[in-house]
Amino acid sequence: MEFDPSRPIWHQLVHEFSRRIVVAQWPPGSRIGGVRELAGELGVNPNTVQRALAELERDGLCRSERTTGRFVTDDEDRIRRLRRTLAADAADDYIAQARGFGIPLADATALITERWPSDDHDTARSEGR
């Protein structure tokens, strides 16, 4: 993982860990690796990982069990809300960049439609998303 030097690393880890939850790399109810293990994987200080995990816990995205470690929440609604929040943040970034390029709304929307894989688009529509 490459880190943006303009943002605190722990904050970037919160985003990365949230992404792992949303895409089910860390499925609901699964055990999250230990602090040292994650720190080694990411090449960061264990205290930084601990801070990011503590933030996830405060947000209700994981829970600690004293003797067995941390686990991803089983709350599917919370995960769904997180997915929508992360998608909204990505959309905001896209909108800011498109506006910066002077792209009108209709063209920005057309770009998304053109580039969206048709099978995903059809699935999302049938699920009411």
Question: pLDDT for 3-43, tens place per residue?
Answer: 999 999 999 999 999 999 999 999 999 999 999 999 999 99
pLDDT of residue 126: 47
pLDDT of residue 106: 96
CB of 42 closer than 8 Å to CB of 49: yes
3-state secondary structure of 3: coil
pLDDT of residue 5: 95
The mean per-residue pLDDT over the stretch 92-96 comes to 97
Domain 9-74 = CATH 1.10.10.10: yes
3-state secondary structure of 21: helix
Evaluate if residue 86 carries a pLDDT over 90.
yes
- What does the alpha-carbon distance between residue 57 and residue 61 come to, in Å, rounded to a whole number? 6
120 pLDDT tier (thresholds 50, 70, 90): low
Per-domain residue ranges of the chain: 9-74, 77-126
Q: What's the distance, Cα to Cα, between the start and end of the chain in Å?
A: 30
Predicted structure pTM score: 0.82
Percent of the chain, pLDDT > 70? Answer: 92
**Is the pLDDT higher at 116 or at 127?**
116
Residue whose structure tokens are 């264990």? 46
Evaluate if residue 122 carries a pLDDT over 60.
no
Evaluate if residue 49 carries a pLDDT over 80.
yes
